[in-house]
Amino acid sequence: MKKANDSLIDGSLDSGMGYESLIGAILDITKITTIVIDDKEFINKEYSIKTIGTLNDEEIDFLESCL
């Protein structure tokens, strides 16, 4: 989160997409936990969405609809 926020602040988050400026972004995060028990692999996935910057509710809703 810190790296994404720092990239938003310094302008490198858009990766050269040519935007004049960015006000925020959403991050679609997947946390994967894998354990092995008796040679069987078990995978758990947890999903979350985080926001950075100054986005209002309407902007967050729009960005989430684009995922």
Location of structure tokens 């050269």: 16
Strand positions, DSSP E, the chain? 24-37, 40-53
Q: Residue 10 has which token pair?
A: 């310094």
Q: Given the DSSP bridges, would you call strands 40-53 and 24-37 parallel, antiparallel or unpaired?
A: antiparallel
Q: For position 21, what pLDDT does the model report?
A: 79
pLDDT per position as a tens digit, 3-59: 999 988 888 888 777 777 789 999 999 999 999 999 999 999 999 999 999 999 999
Query: Residue 19: which of 29, 6, 28, 8 has the closest Cα?
Result: 8
Q: Find out whether 60 and 51 touch, Cβ atoms under 8 Å.
A: yes
